[in-house]
Amino acid sequence: MEKAKPWRVLAIESSCDESAAAVLDEHRGLLAHRLFTQIALHRRYGGVVPELASRDHVRRLLPLVRGVLHESQSGPRELRGVAYTAGPGLAGALLTGAALARSLAYAWGVPAVGVHHLEGHLLATRLEAEPPPFPHVALLVSGGHTLLAEVLAVGRYRVLGETRDDAAGEAFDKTAKLLGLPYPGGPELARLADEGHAGALKFPRPMLDRPGLEFSFSGLKTAVLHAVRDRTLSEASRRDVACAVQEAIVETLVAKALRALEATGLEVLVVCGGVAANRLLRERLAREVHARGGRVHYPRLELCTDNAAMIAVAGLARLRAGEQDDLGIRARAQWPLESLRPIEP
Ligand code: KG4
Ligand code: ZN
């Protein structure tokens, strides 16, 4: 009997301002992943301009796909499916990836599956040498989302808490903008903060005094606005403001992550999304979680931010389990994580 071809998939990500493609093989792992970031394109506007994002995805995606196919020496004969980010995200941007993925799958005669972007982030650590065991708690902190979830298995997520307004990355970016830092301000603000004096200023810790695992970061932005408004800040004061902002965000994230571990009785924490790159967050979590006998896992840095490798992980699991989309080209701007179908191991 002829041996079944291994599952090898092409994945495409285009939900926001990163165009990305990857090829993942169930036995040989990640064979190629490439990315083009549109940061420079959006910087002069101080944030992502959806129409410009969509147009740039159209320009960038095909060369990226060609690149990963070439690098992984994959063609229609080797590939068994195509995965793409179907949501949540910017509708126009999502449609560019969906249309390309769907068309390639149709031309190659293989199934296509739309992946939930957050499921991608939650599963990015599966690409590491020692993936975290299930179940675990995940803290997903990006520019668009802030979420604590219990991850029971691939496809089985219980949302423990979310942000009521701004995401953690958005809070970094918006306060950075108030300090005159270029977009996206998170990493720049973190750099400035590391030179500031801790305790020189204190901003509110949103919702820390209340029970529960919800977040709210919009008040922080207002507090910073009051602190910097109508004032020319010295370089030292800017550093102190940045330091106080970072402290407020990190302290809130750490406290809620610990609360989630306690509430679930779990010991393993996975931190993913762009803000997982933050040095202070990593230091504090390491200290606090280790002190409680727990462990923290992160995807490698390049897989913390948006990428197609994580979409390939989720897509491969779903395609292998027999999931596939019909021929419609769909994007879902809203999509509850808990509505996903669980995948049996
Ligand atoms: O996951 P991601 O690439 O995009 C979304 O899916 O939203 O995350 C980008 C976010 C931005 O808000 C960026 O400012 C933030 O992650 N970020 C950081 C750091 N590096 C990236 N925030 C704080 N400290 C960092 N070192
Ligand atoms: Zn993301």
pLDDT tens per residue, range 69-84: 999 999 999 999 999 9
Q: CB neighbours (10 Å) of residue 35?
A: 18
Positive or negative torsion for Cα 197, 200, 203, 207: positive
The Cα 225–Cα 302 span in angstroms is 32
Q: Evaluate whether residue 3 is within a structural domain.
A: no
* Minimum-distance ligand 1 atom for the alpha carbon of 117: 6
Q: Which ligand is nearest to the CA of 194?
A: 1
Q: Is residue 105 part of a domain?
A: yes
CA distance 312 to 156: 18
* Closest CA relative to residue 244, chosen from 200, 288, 179, 280: 200
Task: Report the alpha-carbon distance of residue 104 to residue 111 in Å, rounded.
Answer: 10
Please, are residues 29 and 127 in contact by the beta-carbon 8 Å criterion?
A: yes
| Within-domain flag for 98 | yes
Q: Which residue has the tokens 């994230």?
A: 253
Radius of gyration of the chain (CA): 20
Nearest-angstrom CA–CA distance, 37 and 306: 9
User: What pLDDT is recorded for position 2?
Assistant: 67
pLDDT at residue 82 in the model: 98
- Indicate if 98 and 229 belong to the same structural domain: no
Shared domain for 159 and 271, answered yes or no, is: yes
Instruction: Please give the Cα distance from 306 to 327 (Å, whole number).
Output: 26
What are the residues whose beta carbons fall under 8 Å from the beta carbon of 261, sequence distance 6 or more? 137, 267, 269, 289, 292, 294
Query: Reduced to 3 states, what is the DSSP secondary structure of residue 188?
Result: helix
Rounded to 5°, angle at Cα 291 from 288 and 293: 115
The whole-number average pLDDT for the span 303-315 is: 97
pLDDT at 1 > cutoff 70: no
Going by CA atoms, what residue is nearest to atom 8 of ligand 1?
A: 274
Residue 128 falls within a domain, yes or no? Answer: no
Whether residue 306 is predicted with pLDDT greater than 70 in this model: the reply is yes
Count of domains in the chain? 2
Pair (217, 168) in one structural domain:
yes
261 and 203 assigned to the same domain: yes
The pLDDT value recorded for residue 32 is 98
| pLDDT above 80 for 345 | no
Of 255, 240, 249, 233, the residue nearest 186 (C-alpha): 249
Residue 129 in any domain: the answer is no
Q: Give the domain extent around 149.
A: 134-298
- Distance from the CA of 7 to the center of ligand 2, in angstroms? 25
- Judge whether 135 and 122 are in contact, CB under 8 Å: no
pLDDT tens, residue by residue, 239-252? 999 999 999 999 99
Dihedral over Cα of 169, 16, 50, 338: its sign: negative
Write out the H or E segment, with its range, that includes residue 106.
helix 91-108
For the CA of 173, the nearest atom of ligand 1? 14
Which of 188, 275, 283 maximizes ligand 1 atoms within 8 Å of its Cβ, making it the mutation to test the pocket?
275
pLDDT at 229 over 90: no
Q: Could you tell me what percent of the chain has a pLDDT over 70?
A: 99
Residue 239 and residue 317 in one domain: no
Cβ distance 168 to 275 under 8 Å? yes
3-state secondary structure of 212: coil
Does the pLDDT of residue 273 top 90, yes or no? Answer: yes
Ligand 1 atom showing the smallest separation from residue 144 Cα:
7
Is the same domain home to 289 and 308? no
Q: Is 102 among the domain residues?
A: yes
Q: Does residue 72 belong to any structural domain of this protein? A: yes
The structure's pTM equals: 0.94
3-state secondary structure of 176: helix
CATH of the domain at 86: 3.30.420.40
Give yes or no: residues 223 and 177 share one domain: yes
Q: Which pLDDT value is given to residue 228?
A: 87
Q: Tell me: do 114 and 171 sit in the same domain.
A: no
Distance 121 CA to ligand 2 centre (A): 7
**What are 186-203's pLDDT values in tens digits?**
999 999 999 999 888 889
Closest CA to ligand 1's atom 16: 274
| Pair 276, 146 in one domain | yes
Q: Are residues 117 and 165 in the same domain?
A: no
Q: How far apart are CA 57 and CA 68, in angstroms?
A: 16
Whether 345 is covered by a domain: the verdict is: no
**Ligand 1 pocket: which residues have CB below 6 Å?**
16, 142-144, 169, 172-173, 184-187, 190, 273-275, 277-278, 305-306
pLDDT over 70 at 33, yes or no = yes
Residues 111, 148, single domain; the answer is no
CB atoms within 5 A of ion ligand 2 belong to: 142, 306
157, 107: one domain = no
